[in-house]
Structure 1
Amino acid sequence: MRVAIYGINFDNSFDSYIQELMNQMDSYGWEIIVHEKFLEFLTSRVKLKVDCRTFNNDSFKSEKASFLFSIGGDGTFLDSAKIVADTGVPVLGINTGRLGFLASTHKEDIAGALKFIKQGKFRIIRRSLLCLIEPEGLFGKTNFALNELTVHKKDSASMITIHTYINDLYLNSYWADGLIISTPTGSTAYSLSCGGPILVPGAQDHIITPIAPHNLNVRPVVVPDDRVIRLKVEGREGNYLVSLDSKSVAIEPTFELVIKKADFYINCVVVDDDNFLNTMRNKMMWGLDKRN
């Protein structure tokens, strides 16, 4: 079995865990390939005692990996989704810091998680994505988002107006700082901080959430994910920002944005009793009462 590893910089407290991770995979006879940039960081921090070779974003598909291990936080997991794209390679999120919704395997649980994977005792959760189909080529090959697409004002304190259509039916014109189109996965990210609802990962919906709307009667709207969403933006400035997860591009108001559900999924590895409801309850600290 071939396992790809992608990650970002981490603090010293994780050094021993990454060494144990590599050693355990090697003891299982798994072939290890490491993203070239991450390997540079690893070799500067720990003395690897296993054989591994490198891959990059362009070569990943041809590697035909069985899994990709994403080492970092939820942001690293989003980057990993860009690498995996439509290959269907399952992703295991290993958290090096705070509790994450996507990177939910803690460093203390790595050994157990790998053992479960070796024994085939894991589940695959499919997570849907958004796809920006117009303007074509704005984000190159990575015109999809696991969390959200965001339209936001740029270089101005003035609001923008976002005319929004669902399957060519007029929904609303939002006077706001911006607008978020979120997947169920993204419902616990930017959309949540702007007052959007939480959706379970398997929900077949998208959320339209305004950012600081001028009209206080405006609320987030949940729409089925088989609908096509079209946005027309107006503003005093000559351009505005469009973001797919963490990547942003400035665009002129003459362009329309057309968004739909992507035709592929990101397969997330879930081991043991790890589940979205447990993570959400712990993250939100539900059920905790300081009086107890």
Structure 2
Amino acid sequence: MFKKLSILYKENDNSALETAIKVQDWLKNKDAECIIFHSVGVLSSFSHSEIMAIQNSDTVIVLGGDGTMLSASRLIGGKKVPIIGINMGKLGFITEISRIDLFETLEQIFSGNYEIEERSMINAKILRDEKIINEYLGLNDIVIGKGIMAKISDFDLFINNLYVSTIKADGVIISTPTGSTAYNLSAGGPILYPTLKGLVFTPICPHTLTVRPIVLPDDFIIDVVISTHGKDIFLTVDGQIGFPLQKNDRVRCRIAEEKTYLIAPVGRDYFKILRDKLRWGER
């Protein structure tokens, strides 16, 4: 069972901090050791030893919204350390456990009544002059889009090295199934069941309405080449990390070897989550 745990909570959120302290006290009564107690966010930084401790935890408890979970997932870096996500925000597709049910759910989990879901992550390599200049790992998505200038851009799309089309759009999204309920959904992309094996390519406000999202197998490789002047075009990972792109840069996306592992209570109903979060059936 879980004996060495890390607690990560959303920075500058007093409610998340107060709840994290209560969780830490609860763990002491379970003879569990909290080896890392740390905030997560733009202003929070981690030493190498802290990251190694997190990656060697039996589990990581994350208190915040989906953004906090995305940061935690990248910190864990694909190591087989399951995450317990506590929703301290509003929507929370990944942080599924509500703060109201927090300790009741923790009791279930620590009694062994839980399932571990394997979630696909996405790998993105940036190639410039045929050399890899940067590489990223994300849980939700890779977005290639414009900056502050409201100007349409051209993107050459290749799938498995086959030319598909030159897409005129505000940007493009390459999403995992977990990320399909994030920016992809807002851009008109489909919802994929989170444990499905696949990728979604979704254009953002395409100039041609017949350019539609496409769902691909998880062993396919998607290349996007910036075929317009790359000024103010950025690659964004999980909506949190950005990198400026230039004309002729190639972004190569594929499902990563690394995975994220999420702990969910036994009997959790994903369709109820969709119904509640997206307010299906309401008038």
TM over 0.5: yes
Aligned counterpart in structure 1 of residue 226 of structure 2, from 225, 229, 233: 233
Q: 1:62 to 1:253 in 2, by over 3 A?
A: same
Deviation at 1:90, TM superposition (A): 0.2
Distance in 2 (alpha carbons) for counterparts of 1:36 and 1:107: 19
TM-score normalised by structure 1 residue count:
0.86
CA offsets per residue over residues 96-145 of structure 1, 9 Å max, x none?
Answer: 12131101111111111221222111100110011013433525xxx111
The AA in structure 2 aligned to 1:253 is: K
TM-score normalised by structure 2 residue count:
0.89
Distance in 2 (alpha carbons) for counterparts of 1:237 and 1:131: 21
Aligned counterpart in structure 2 of residue 148 of structure 1, from 141, 146, 150: 141
Is 1:8 aligned to 2:10, yes or no?
yes
- Equivalence for 1:50: none
Is 1:286 aligned to 2:262, yes or no?
no
Aligned counterpart in structure 1 of residue 259 of structure 2, from 265, 269, 273: 265
After superposition, residues 50-129 of structure 1 pair within 5 angstroms as 56=47, 59-62=50-53, 64-129=56-121
Deviation at 1:25, TM superposition (A): 0.6
- Equivalence for 1:224: 217
CA offsets per residue over residues 4-47 of structure 1, 9 Å max, x none?
Answer: 01111365555653343122111001000234446xx9xxxxxx
Contact 1:127 1:266 in 2 (8 A): yes
Contact 2:9 2:20 in 1 (8 A): no
Larger Rg: 1
Aligned counterpart in structure 2 of residue 159 of structure 1, from 152, 158, 167: 152
- Equivalence for 1:203: 196
The AA in structure 2 aligned to 1:133 is: K
Aligned counterpart in structure 2 of residue 183 of structure 1, from 172, 176, 184: 176
Distance in 2 (alpha carbons) for counterparts of 1:272 and 1:57: 35
The AA in structure 1 aligned to 2:200 is: I
Size of the aligned set, in residue pairs, is: 272
Alignment gaps of 5+ in structure 1 = 42-54
Q: 1:220 to 1:21 in 2, by over 3 A?
A: same
Distance in 1 (alpha carbons) for counterparts of 2:48 and 2:113: 29
Contact 1:185 1:200 in 2 (8 A): yes
Q: 1:103 to 1:198 in 2, by over 3 A?
A: same
Contact 2:229 2:246 in 1 (8 A): no
Aligned counterpart in structure 2 of residue 130 of structure 1, from 122, 126, 129: 122
Contact 2:9 2:16 in 1 (8 A): no
Is 1:213 aligned to 2:209, yes or no?
no
Coordinate RMSD, CA, aligned: 2.2
Q: Which has the higher strand share?
A: 2
